[in-house]
């Protein structure tokens, strides 16, 4: 792993994790062209995830701090028998909805992860994932203006958004894109749909990183110097911050169709290239 490779992969991970273009698909494609074996860079992948996680914490540190404080207040209320009082405590309701949305994502990851992991090495399958992402992004832009926010959110909405996030386990399907589309389909304001999508990415990204750590510790780290690992993580965090800021503006301005065009073209090229390799090894 050279510094150049680390920087390139860090840029791709940081941007593609939060832009609706699928970081897993881009990383799989780059690993193919760089001739990098996935098991040899698993620790690097974990650090890239940590880098993107840091970018969410930096961008939403006020919300996260309020959620942490509310967690302890909630415990105190439950001990005193005062109940959850979700309608009275908006921050508490947000935290509960994040947990509820994470449950279907976690279940889908546990049950389907091995299958979707096997698709990482099948280029035409990744291309189909990109094409699917393009369609849901394009569809979401056709929706009318919505005015629902956290006050109107219910468990059914959170579960649906969580399922949409779980679909993104498939390489080529954008996690941020599918999650935000889930929020827009349920009628939420664009600002809230973006915010909720990024906040529920925290347990998703953290869970994926934690689950990969044991396997990463066992995997070979030959050729992985500390320098490129750290640089890649920092680059991923910086690019993640830029991507989040850009995504907020893009969604509010209803410009997701431009990303649709990008992933459609990339998906079609990847499907064609993948099928060519399959029939002309």
Domain ranges of the chain: 3-279
Q: What is the pLDDT of residues 185-203, one digit of tens each?
A: 999 998 999 999 999 999 9
Residue 156 predicted with pLDDT over 80: yes
| Per-residue pLDDT reduced to its tens digit, 70-92 | 999 999 999 999 888 898 999 99
pLDDT of residue 222 exceeding 60, the answer is no
Calculate the alpha carbon distances from 8 to 2, 51, 75, 138, 141 in Å: 10, 14, 44, 28, 31
Give the pLDDT mean for 247-265. Answer: 90
Tokens of residue 125, six digits: 């399958």
What is the per-residue pLDDT for 127?
Answer: 95
Convert the pLDDT of each residue in 210-219 to its tens digit. 777 767 666 6
Q: What percent of the chain has pLDDT over 90?
A: 58
For 227-254, how does the pLDDT look when each residue is reduced to its tens digit (9 = 90+)? 888 999 999 999 999 999 999 999 888 8
Mean pLDDT of 256-268: 93
pTM of the model: 0.90
């Amino acid at each position: 792993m050279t510094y150049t490779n680390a920087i390139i992969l860090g840029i791709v991970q940081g941007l593609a994790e939060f832009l609706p273009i699928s970081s897993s698909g881009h990383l799989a494609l780059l690993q193919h062209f760089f001739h990098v074996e996935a098991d040899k860079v698993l620790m690097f992948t974990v650090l890239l995830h940590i880098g993107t996680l840091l970018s969410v914490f930096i961008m939403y540190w006020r919300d996260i701090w309020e959620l942490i404080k509310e967690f302890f207040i909630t415990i105190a209320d439950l001990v005193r028998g005062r109940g959850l009082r979700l309608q009275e405590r908006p921050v508490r309701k947000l935290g509960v909805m994040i947990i509820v949305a994470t449950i279907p994502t976690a279940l889908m990851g546990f049950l389907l992860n091995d299958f979707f992991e096997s698709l990482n090495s099948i280029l035409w399958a990744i291309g189909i994932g990109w094409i699917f992402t393009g369609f849901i992004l394009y569809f979401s832009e056709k929706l009318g203006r919505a005015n629902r926010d956290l006050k109107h959110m219910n468990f059914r909405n959170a579960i649906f958004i969580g399922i949409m996030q779980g679909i993104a386990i498939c390489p080529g399907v954008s996690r941020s894109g599918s999650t935000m589309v889930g929020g827009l389909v349920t009628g939420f304001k664009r600002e809230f749909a973006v915010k909720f999508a990024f906040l529920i990415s925290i347990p998703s990204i953290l869970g994926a990183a934690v689950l990969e750590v044991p396997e990463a510790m066992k995997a070979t780290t030959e050729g992985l110097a500390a320098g490129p690992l750290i640089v890649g993580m920092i680059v991923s965090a910086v690019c993640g911050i830029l991507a989040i800021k850009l995504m907020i503006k893009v969604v509010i301005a209803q410009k997701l169709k431009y990303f649709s065009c990008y992933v459609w073209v990339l998906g079609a090229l990847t499907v064609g290239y993948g099928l060519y390799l399959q029939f002309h090894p």
